[in-house]
Every structure is written in structure tokens, then in C-alpha cells.
């Protein structure tokens, strides 16, 4: 029966692939426990780049735990800031974007705000200025204003996006609200390609295959007696 289940699983298309985002939980640029620091880029090779403001703030257990791993980002570092990562995508391919967010504990709604943008109009090696210029309302996929909390209260934002004809999509996050060094936290960023839902005919073929496997197994058992 185990072999039958394996065969059935192998015959079904995968619903999702590996995360396209590098350092989506912000663990690669390590800061000491209980501290924070601000960087012009983070992640191996600087995959997340600051494109405006004072930089990308990495925190590690300063006001509470991360959603994933030990670290997370606050983009109102010294001032409201923005960061971006370039992702290799396929034209017309569907992707699912997810990220976790929470208001900074013991701050007001007015100081918390986070926007996300998905930009398909730029090619490889886009400049900081061109990425920032493309982070407009037409490319905005999230405009979040989380409620005030007394401890890290992580929620998940999810949105379907499509790949770019240029072969590159740019994911941008930007702090909004009062620019006072206290802002929304961000963690566990994922972009996964999503396979099309199989047609009914595909399920029918899978069922026929399973029936055939069961019949063959039955014949084998009868012959062994």
C-alpha cells in the first residue's frame, strides 16, 4: 500500500515550489540577542537593499519574538525607509506572496504602517531610483495599518501575484505612518509559484491509475497463495 500511495503522489502535480525570496526571515545578517542594528543591505550578498530612508533595521528579541526564526525587520529605522529584493519570475506564472506583520508593541496606530509593492515593469539590474519610482499606487498590493498591541501579535498577509515578462519582479516594502523610529514589524516573507489546479480529467486518470495498481497488487497476492 505504501508503494501505491507513493505512485499516486508522484502522479499529482506539485501545488507549490520553493520560496523565491532569499533571506525571507532575515536570519542571515545576525545581530546579538536583545539588540538591533540598521543596515544599507541585509542577507547574503545584500539581497535586500535599502532604497530610501535611513536603512533596514534588524531586531533580535528586543520587544518580543520573531514570527519565524529569531530576527525580523522594522523599516521605520531612524526614519521611514523602504527596501527591495529582485526575484527571478516567469511571465504569466502565478505566485502566492505571504508575509507576517505586527504593530510594534506599546505604540499608537498612527506610527504604524506598512506598504508592499509588486513591480513587473523593470528588468535586471534596476537602479534604486527606478525601483523607488515604480513603487506607486498602481503596483501596491498591501497598505497595512495594524492595530495597537502590547506584545508582538503576528498576522499573515497573503496575495496572488504574477510573473514579469522581463524575467524579474521587484518586491518592495515601505514604512508609513509617523516617521519617528517606531513602526510595523515584518517577518517570514515568502513567494511561491503555484501550479494550476488539475482539470477533472487529471483526477479521473489518477483514479484509474490507482484502481490499476490495486488490481495488480490483488493479483500478485492471489498468485503467491
Please check whether residues 151 and 44 belong to one and the same domain: yes
For residue 195, the model assigns a pLDDT of: 73
Mean pLDDT in each 10-residue stretch from start to end of the chain (225 residues)?
Answer: 47 63 98 98 98 98 97 98 98 97 98 98 96 98 98 98 97 98 98 70 47 55 56
Task: For residues 53 and 23, state if they share a domain.
Answer: yes
The CATH number of the domain holding residue 120 is 2.60.120.260
204 Cβ partners below 8 Å, 6+ apart?
A: none
CA 125 centroid distance within chain: 21
Cα angle: 122, vertex 143, 19; to 5 degrees: 55
Same domain, 157 and 54: yes
pLDDT at 182: 98
- pLDDT, residue 20, reads 97
The pLDDT assigned to 204 comes to 44
pLDDT reported for residue 103 = 98
pLDDT the model gives residue 225: 54
pLDDT of residue 202: 42
141 and 223 housed in the same domain: no
Domains in the chain, number: 2
What pLDDT score was predicted for residue 100? 98
Q: Do 37 and 97 reside in the same domain of the chain? A: yes
DSSP output for the chain: -HHHHHHHHHHSPPSB----STTTT--SS---TTEEEEESEESTTS-EEEEETT-EEEEESSSS--SSSSEEEESBSSSB-EEEEEEE--TT-EEEEEEEEEPPTT--GGG--EEEEEE-S--TT--HHHHHHH-SGGGEEEEE-PPP-SS---EEEEEEEE--TTSEEEEEEEE-S--SS---EEEEEEEEEBPPPPPHHHHHHHHHHHHHHHHHHHHHHHHT-
- Residue 72's DSSP bridge partners are 59
pLDDT at position 28 is 98
- Residues 140 and 175 placed together within one structural domain of the fold: yes
Exposed, middle or buried, 104 (CB in 10 Å: 0-12/13-18/19+)?
buried
Same domain, yes or no: 82 and 9? no
Same domain, 161 and 212: no
- Give pLDDT, residue 122: 97
Please report the pLDDT score of residue 224 as a whole number. 57
Same domain for 157 and 215? no
Same domain? For 11 and 21 the reply is no
Q: Could you list the residue range(s) of the whole structural domain that residue 172 is in?
A: 17-194
Same domain, 100 and 160: yes
Same-domain pairing of 47 and 137: yes
Amino acid at each position: 500500500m505504501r508503494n501505491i500511495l507513493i505512485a499516486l503522489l508522484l502522479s499529482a502535480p506539485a501545488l507549490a515550489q520553493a520560496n523565491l525570496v532569499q533571506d525571507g526571515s532575515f536570519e542571515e545578517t545576525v545581530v546579538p540577542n536583545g539588540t538591533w542594528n540598521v543596515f544599507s543591505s541585509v542577507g547574503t550578498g545584500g539581497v535586500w537593499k535599502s532604497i530610501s530612508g535611513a536603512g533596514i533595521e534588524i531586531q533580535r528579541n528586543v520587544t518580543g519574538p520573531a514570527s519565524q526564526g529569531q530576527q525580523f525587520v522594522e523599516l521605520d529605522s531612524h526614519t521611514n525607509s523602504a527596501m527591495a529584493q529582485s526575484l527571478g519570475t516567469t511571465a504569466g506564472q502565478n505566485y502566492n506572496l505571504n508575509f507576517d506583520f505586527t504593530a510594534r508593541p506599546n505604540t499608537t496606530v498612527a506610527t504604524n504602517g506598512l506598504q508592499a509593492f509588486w513591480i513587473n515593469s523593470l528588468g535586471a539590474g534596476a537602479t534604486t531610483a527606478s525601483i523607488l519610482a515604480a513603487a506607486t499606487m498602481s503596483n501596491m498590493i498591501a497598505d497595512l495599518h495594524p492595530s495597537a498591541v502590547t506584545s508582538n501579535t503576528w498576522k499573515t498577509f497573503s496575495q496572488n501575484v504574477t510573473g514579469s515578462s522581463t524575467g524579474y519582479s521587484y518586491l518592495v516594502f515601505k514604512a508609513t505612518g509617523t516617521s519617528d523610529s517606531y513602526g510595523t514589524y515584518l517577518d517570514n516573507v515568502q513567494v511561491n509559484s503555484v501550479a494550476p489546479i488539475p482539470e477533472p480529467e487529471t483526477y479521473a486518470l489518477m483514479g484509474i491509475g490507482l484502481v490499476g495498481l490495486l488490481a495488480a497488487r490483488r493479483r500478485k497476492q492471489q498468485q503467491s497463495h
